[in-house]
Amino acid sequence: MTTPTDPPLLDIRNLSVRLGEGAASPALIENINLRIRAGETVGLVGESGSGKTTLGMSLMRLLPPLLDRGLSGQIHYDGDDIVQMDRAELTRLRGGEISMILQDPMASLNPIFTIGNQLKEGLRLHATASGSLEDRAIAALESVRIPSPEARLQNHPHQMSGGMRQRVVGAISLTRAPRLLVADEPTTSLDVTIQYQFLELLKDLQKRAGMAMLFITHDFGVVAKMCDRVAVMYAGQIVEEGPVREIFRRPRHWYTRALLDSVPTLDQALDRLPTIPGSPPSVANRPQGCRFHPRCANAQAKCMQMPPMAELAPAHDVRCWFPLQEQRGAA
Ligand SMILES: Nc1ncnc2c1ncn2[C@@H]1O[C@H](COP(=O)(O)OP(=O)(O)O)[C@@H](O)[C@H]1O
Ligand code: SF4
Ligand SMILES: [Mg+2]
């Protein structure tokens, strides 16, 4: 059991990713500060294009070379700075410490090899465990509740359903016994029932392994189910961060509230889903001042200056000159 006073496993400080070196290059993400403790799940939400994947990829230094060169700030992981790591240290990090599950399971699987081959490849790196590779591969598939695991080892990825494939990706990620799992919209490509089952599974495995997790999603329903804390991203910045229950009950940033208000309820007709008016700015056209001001119902002259991140309640930070006062749903 961890307590809030434990040092965080991951401590991101002032992290930016620019389109090339130099402070004048446009930033995909800018001055990100975020901490994740062992065993904790932190959600990262925001509309498409807000920089969530860029942040996730930078934690494993998997950005394209141009963007990797534009990385600045620090990513302290268990005392070491990932931004400063050399190739050998990064290989060790990716091989065992941090794992990633992507939206499209096919992007993580090799179509040429069987599921068994791909699982065993991962397991071979962990010589510490006992038992034959075959037995351990079967156990890995059982751990993600794949029926008839012996037979499944012979399958190629295309012989499985999307939900099954994502479970296999989960099993492969977990063979590395990561201490941090980055899940980037892992259920977006799955249908609703399968989505739910996969989330349950992930949560269960996380609990058993005591893993920390960064859970990237655009879906607040998924955040409510999976996360302890949540960071809301807009146009490359974190605009609000706090405990999930607190953010749901009492969002303080206008963007967070707009996002929450656009979550469909059961009685809404599917053809009339509410959305936030306007669209997020592209990297090259980010507005001056508060980046949300062109879409904010409360924008005022002061909003033409960039608001700082401020702590409004314990562990609840918001980047807004005029944070919301009332509880959500209150008259
Ligand atoms: N390799 C790249 N070169 C230039 N711009 C990029 C690159 N990758 C992503 N972007 C831009 O960076 C922004 C953030 O993208 P991304 O991190 O994928 O957001 P999200 O995951 O929240 O949808 C988007 O506007 C996207 O167009
Ligand atoms: S700073 Fe101004 S424009 Fe930005 S969210 Fe707050 S009220 Fe709206
Ligand atoms: Mg993304």
Q: Is the CB of 217 under 6 A from ligand 1?
A: no
- Which DSSP state fits 112? T
In this structure, is residue 328 part of a structural domain?
no
What does the alpha-carbon distance between residue 53 and residue 298 come to, in Å, rounded to a whole number? Answer: 29
pLDDT tens digits, residue range 25-48? 999 999 999 999 999 999 999 999
Give the residue, 191 or 99, on which the prediction is more confident.
99
Inter-axis angle of helices 133-143 and 162-175, nearest 10: 120
Answer whether residue 327 is part of any domain: no
Q: Which class for 191: exposed (0-12), middle (13-18), buried (19 or more C-beta within 10 A)?
A: exposed
Q: Which structure tokens are listed for 129?
A: 């465990």
Q: What percent of the chain has pLDDT over 90?
A: 64
Answer whether residue 111 shows pLDDT above 70.
yes
Confidence of residue 74 (pLDDT cuts 50, 70, 90): very high
Residue 2 lies in a domain: no
Measured CA to CA, the distance from residue 176 to residue 275 in angstroms comes to: 40
Average confidence (pLDDT) over 79-91 = 95
Asked whether the predicted pLDDT for residue 153 surpasses 70, the reply is: yes
| C-beta of 282 in contact with ligand 1 (< 6 A) | yes
Tell me the H-state helices in 41-191.
52-59, 65-69, 87-92, 105-108, 115-124, 133-143, 149-152, 162-175
Range with the poorest average pLDDT among 60-69, 72-81, 121-130? 121-130
φ, ψ dihedrals at 128, nearest 5°: -70, -35
**What DSSP letter does each residue of 233-246 carry, written as one string?**
EETTEEEEEEEHHH
Per-residue pLDDT band at 196 (split at 50, 70, 90): confident
pTM score of the predicted model? 0.91
Cα 5 to averaged position of ligand 3 atoms, centre (Å): 31
| Structural domain boundaries, residue 238 | 10-318
| Nearest atom, ligand 2, residue 307 CA | 1
Q: Domain count for the chain, please give it.
A: 1
Structure tokens at 321: 């000159």
Determine the pLDDT at residue 331: 44
The confidence score (pLDDT) of residue 128 equals 60
Reduced to 3 states (helix: H, G, I; strand: E, B; else coil), residue 312 is strand
What is the chain's mean pLDDT, rounded?
89
pLDDT above 70 coverage of the chain, percent? 93
Q: What is the CATH classification number for the domain harbouring 156?
A: 3.40.50.300
| 239 CA: nearest ligand 2 atom | 5
Task: Identify the weakest region by mean pLDDT among 65-69, 95-99, 146-150, 318-322.
Answer: 95-99
Residues with CB under 6 A from ligand 2: 253-254, 290, 292-293, 296, 298-299, 303, 307, 320-322
Residue 217 lies in a domain: yes
Residue 331 lies in a domain: no
Q: Which residue has the tokens 């990829």?
A: 57
Residues in the chain, how many? 331
Angle separating helix axes 115-124 and 162-175, nearest 10 degrees: 20
Q: Which of 32, 52, 77, 4 is nearest to 243 (CA)?
A: 4
- How many Å apart are CA 158 and CA 156, to the nearest integer? 6
Smallest CA separation from ligand 1 atom 25, residue: 49
Rg, C-alpha atoms of the chain: 21
Highest mean pLDDT among 52-61, 117-126, 203-212, 260-269: 52-61
Query: What is the Å distance from ligand 3's center to 181 Cα?
Result: 16
Q: Is residue 267 part of a domain?
A: yes
Give the tokens for residue 145.
């509740």
